[in-house]
Chains A and B, each alone.
Chain A
Amino acid sequence: MANDLAWPIAILIAWLAGEYGFRWLRLPRISAYAIVGFILASTQLGVLPETQSSPMLLLANLAFGLILFEAGYRINLRWLRINPWIGVTSLAEATLTFVAVYATATAFGLASSTSLLLAALSMASSPAAIVRVINEQRSTGQVTERLLHLSAMNCVLAVFAFKVIVGLIVFKTSGNIWQAVYSSLVVLSVSIILGALLGVVMPALLRAIGRTSHDSTLAFAISVVFLVVLTHHLKLSPVLATLTFGLVARHRRIVLNASQRGFGALGDLLSVVLFVFIAATLSWQQVVAGLGIGCAILAARQITKIAGLGFFAHISGIAWHKGLLIGIALAPISAFVILMLEQTRYLGVDLVDQLAPLAAAALILEIIGPILTQRALIWSREGPESGEG
């Protein structure tokens, strides 16, 4: 009975903390959710149940899926074609991050397989936190646009690198890198195809019943739920599938009503669940154990992101300082990383203990990351009333 109440109570407390934190301290709501989630976790106060139940993981994945759909929907492929420097920036910053984090981790004496996995995951910037903060700030402009595109791209790169490395090193199926690349490619391409398929079929169905002109938010929410559950069960990548779904739906010229941005109240509720859940997976012992190396990795990652973005800012068409701000804003990582790891656990490999340094990094960034993104958006003056006036 007490267990049944644990989650609703946690969500209520997190929501209150989010609202008060936002009003009084201008703290991004999701940072407050994370703090509450971490404190209430089984390993800390013990309010939340110990084992992360599968339904909660699925719910968190749904929340992430909805946000990724929205991120995909806001990607403009035509822009990436016309301004190839955006793509170059993304490749460069992700590669730099990979190299820097790998070097840092091995310097701390971690095994090279662990270092490779850490490096792959560190490439990503979590679109969940980024999209939520952008919507909260109601920001529009170059920093906002590029942030969305870059986080989507470096996530795809990170998923790819991670799958390859898992296939290659952890499973040790064979020493053959091509086989690992091949099997990851199959997982990735099937995920992408599923997302794309739904992205074509859904708009067609909507057109057939003449509902394109109306708000299609509900139809897409249902489709995202379906897609997440399907890819989860087929052990594919929900990240890529939902991202592709959003991307294809956008390019099929389906209009999502701006007032329903972020899937309205449904999106808000699920994001509370998501960010509480993510923080609740972390334990105090893990965080303390990996604090030093976690911080070193964070520093390496943040510096390379800022450097990469700053270096290509001018040539890609924006002022230097805006490039640096995007580098800062790319900080969030947690939702992406934790869900990747939880999914791997679900696939039968427990990387969580092996990647203990990540716990510290994930916790720090789950709280600090959204604040950095929020500050970068305020400093770039892309909010409606310049944020704090």
Chain B
Amino acid sequence: MPLNAFKTSQSLSLGVELELQLVSPSDFDLTTASSDLLELLRRKPFPGTVTPEMTESMIEIATDVQTSYEPLLQQLLDIRDVLISAGDRLNVGICGGGTHPFQLWSERRIVSKPRFKGLSALYGYLAKQFTIFGQHVHVGCTSGDEALFLLHALNRYVPHFIALSASSPFVQGNDTLFNSARLNSVFAFPLSGRAPFLLRWEDFEQQYFTKMEHTGVVSSMKDFYWDIRPKPEYGTIELRVCDTPLTVERAAALACYLQALCRYLLERNEPAPIEDDYLVYNYNRFQACRFGLDGSIVHPKSYEQIPLREDILTTVRHLQPYADALGSASALEHIYQLAHEGSDASYLRQEFAERGSTEGMVDAALQRFRYGESMQRSG
């Protein structure tokens, strides 16, 4: 099947998808709930879309196409409230976080859809280990060429999003010492990583995709697990490196940070991306996954070592006028605070230390998703 033509979208329009965890309030383990939850949600109009995911312990929600911060945040809050109240009726807890800290992958059940069953047969334990939860942000592009430019211009900023969203410090009951251990599960897939360095849509379509399709390895864009991937049928690029944050407020802020960054990059304020930028890409990505905001990255042009936190704070300053123009100054303020106070991964580690168990950590994540950032921690 040939690639769809790249649909033109409104430049810098946004769409947010969140994969969320379905947890039992009794033992805080993942629970089989997506079909029951969807059955209940179907009875009333939903403020967005909600779909099943790979395993029965996960659902995915998506916003409509949004153009600015306030309506995006409002829709995410509405979605959250509807989900929480449906979950309450079914005794199902819903929370963010890139991984569930102690679930055992062997306990998960793959949703009975042909596509998921097929993936499970192909990837074996990788498919079940893929019980991980990410935030995907779509940014609208006016053309395929613009999409590929943005995709590659963003390469140096990918670690920002990994570190800012990191919320998966624990896997299978143990501290991984990573801030985003979730991405390690993504890297295990053969078609993960970055998109090939092509800047014209025509080249991408003919030189790359058609050839890959001919090899029989892929049949659609869905088979690529790239960090950023173009989505021609929506007319967007999709940033896929973020862990699902613990709150929808943070999800909205991250999306608008990306939006402001794209606006800045589209003004061609920086030297154009080149293939060699990717020499440091994997190293920088590792630093962000492992050390989060405390990591240090190598600048792809100057090869200078920069603390990641400092790089984010500098970028926030550069983006201020762009965010103001887009009406997302509060989103940028959120990112600024986040860079200072630490990510969700640090929050979860701190809760683990205080409550003494991974179950307590999930409990904290449930509370945080329900009550949001303003929540006062109870003693």
Contact surface of A with B, Cβ cutoff 8 Å: 73-74, 76, 78-79, 82-83, 138-142, 144-145, 212-213, 250, 253, 255-256, 258, 261, 316-319, 322, 381-386
Closest to B110 in A: A385
Contacting residues, chain B, for A319 (C-beta < 8 A)? 36, 39
Contact B26 A74 (CB under 8 A): yes
A73 to chain B, nearest CB (A): 7
Contact B88 A82 (CB under 8 A): yes
A70 to chain B, nearest CB (A): 10
Q: Identify B36's interface contact among A258, A261, A322, A386, CB under 8 A.
A: A322
B109 to chain A, nearest CB (A): 5
CA distance A253 to B367 in the complex (A): 14
A145 and B356 in contact (CB under 8 A), knowing A384-B107, A384-B108, A384-B109? Answer: no
B106 interfacial by beta-carbon distance below 8 Å = yes
Contacting residues, chain A, for B355 (C-beta < 8 A)? 213
B357 interfacial by beta-carbon distance below 8 Å = yes
B360 interfacial by beta-carbon distance below 8 Å = yes
B170 to chain A, nearest CB (A): 15
Contacting residues, chain B, for A381 (C-beta < 8 A)? 32, 35, 109, 112
Contact B88 A83 (CB under 8 A): yes
Contact A383 B27 (CB under 8 A): no
B121 interfacial by beta-carbon distance below 8 Å = no
CA distance A253 to B366 in the complex (A): 14
CA distance A256 to B358 in the complex (A): 11
Contact B36 A142 (CB under 8 A): yes
Contact B91 A385 (CB under 8 A): no
B52 interfacial by beta-carbon distance below 8 Å = no
CA distance A318 to B86 in the complex (A): 11
Contact A318 B109 (CB under 8 A): no
CA distance A250 to B24 in the complex (A): 13
CA distance A144 to B27 in the complex (A): 13
Contacting residues, chain B, for A83 (C-beta < 8 A)? 88-91
CA distance A383 to B102 in the complex (A): 18
Contacting residues, chain B, for A256 (C-beta < 8 A)? 27
In the complex, which residues 18-50 of chain B have their Cβ closer than 8 Å to any Cβ of chain A? Answer: 24-27, 29-33, 35-36, 39-40
B71 to chain A, nearest CB (A): 30
A247 to chain B, nearest CB (A): 11
Contacting residues, chain A, for B357 (C-beta < 8 A)? 212-213, 255
B344 interfacial by beta-carbon distance below 8 Å = no
9 residue pairs A–B, Cβ–Cβ below 8 Å: A140-B33, A141-B32, A142-B36, A142-B90, A145-B90, A253-B363, A255-B357, A384-B107, A384-B109
Q: Identify B24's interface contact among A138, A140, A212, CB under 8 A.
A: A140
Contact B91 A138 (CB under 8 A): no
Residue of A213, A250, A319 contacting most chain B CB atoms (<10 Å) = A213
CA distance A384 to B112 in the complex (A): 12
CA distance A142 to B39 in the complex (A): 12
Contact A258 B29 (CB under 8 A): yes
CA distance A386 to B29 in the complex (A): 18
Contact A317 B90 (CB under 8 A): yes
Q: Which 4 A-B pairs have the closest CB atoms?
A: A213-B356, A141-B32, A79-B91, A140-B31
Contacting residues, chain A, for B243 (C-beta < 8 A)? none
B238 interfacial by beta-carbon distance below 8 Å = no
Contact B89 A140 (CB under 8 A): no
Closest to A215 in B: B357
A317 to chain B, nearest CB (A): 4
B9 to chain A, nearest CB (A): 38
B227 interfacial by beta-carbon distance below 8 Å = no
A212 and B356 in contact (CB under 8 A), knowing A141-B33, A319-B39? Answer: yes
B249 interfacial by beta-carbon distance below 8 Å = no
CA distance A139 to B109 in the complex (A): 10
Contacting residues, chain A, for B91 (C-beta < 8 A)? 76, 79, 83, 145
Contact A384 B26 (CB under 8 A): no
Contact A250 B40 (CB under 8 A): no
Contacting residues, chain B, for A139 (C-beta < 8 A)? 32
Contacting residues, chain B, for A317 (C-beta < 8 A)? 40, 86, 89-90
